[in-house]
Structure 1
Amino acid sequence: MTPFVRSTLVSLSILGLAAATPSLAALKVGDKAPNFTAPAATDGNVSTFSLKEALKDGPVVVYFYPKAFTGGCSLEARQFSEAIPQFKAKHVTVIGMSADGIDVLKDFSKKDCAGKFAVGSDVNVAVTKAYDAQMGTMNMSSRISYVISKDGRIAFVHDSGDAATHVPALLKAVGAGK
Structure 2
Amino acid sequence: MMKRLLPGCLLSSMIIFTAVAADLKKGDGAPDFEAQASFGGKPFAYSLKESRAKGPVVVYFYPTAYGRGCSVQAHTFAVNHDKFTAAGATIVGVSLDSIDRLNEFSADPNYCASKFPVASDVNGRIANAYGLTVDESTIGRKDVRGVQVDHGSIARTTFIVTPDGKIAAALGGLKPAENVAKALEAVEQLAALSKKISE
For normalisation by structure 1, the TM-score amounts to 0.83
SS of residue in 1 equivalent to 2:168: strand
CA contact (8 A) 1:23 1:135 kept: no
- For 1:90, the equivalent position in structure 2 comes to 87
Q: Name structure 1 gaps, 5 residues minimum.
A: 1-21
Distance, in Å, in 2 between the alignment partners of 1:31 and 1:168 is 23
- For 1:169, the equivalent position in structure 2 comes to 182
- For 1:8, the equivalent position in structure 2 comes to none
Q: Does 1:107 align with 2:104?
A: yes
- For 1:79, the equivalent position in structure 2 comes to 76
- For 1:117, the equivalent position in structure 2 comes to 116
Deviations 1:41-68 (A, max 9, x none): 0110110110110011001000000011
- For 1:129, the equivalent position in structure 2 comes to 128
Distance, in Å, in 2 between the alignment partners of 1:25 and 1:167 is 18
Deviation at 1:24, TM superposition (A): 1.8
- For 1:69, the equivalent position in structure 2 comes to 66
Q: Name structure 2 gaps, 5 residues minimum.
A: 1-18, 138-151, 190-199
What is the correspondence of 1:44-63 to structure 2 with a 5 Å cutoff? Answer: 44-63=41-60
SS of residue in 2 equivalent to 1:74: helix
Distance, in Å, in 1 between the alignment partners of 2:161 and 2:167 is 5
Deviation at 1:136, TM superposition (A): 4.3
- For 1:147, the equivalent position in structure 2 comes to 160
SS of residue in 1 equivalent to 2:104: helix
CA contact (8 A) 1:23 1:133 kept: no
Deviation at 1:161, TM superposition (A): 4.7
Distance, in Å, in 2 between the alignment partners of 1:120 and 1:163 is 18
CA contact (8 A) 2:35 2:119 kept: yes
C-alpha root-mean-square deviation of aligned residues, in Å? 1.8
What is the correspondence of 1:18-29 to structure 2 with a 5 Å cutoff? Answer: 24-29=21-26
Q: Read off the aligned partner of 1:123 and give its amino acid letter.
A: V
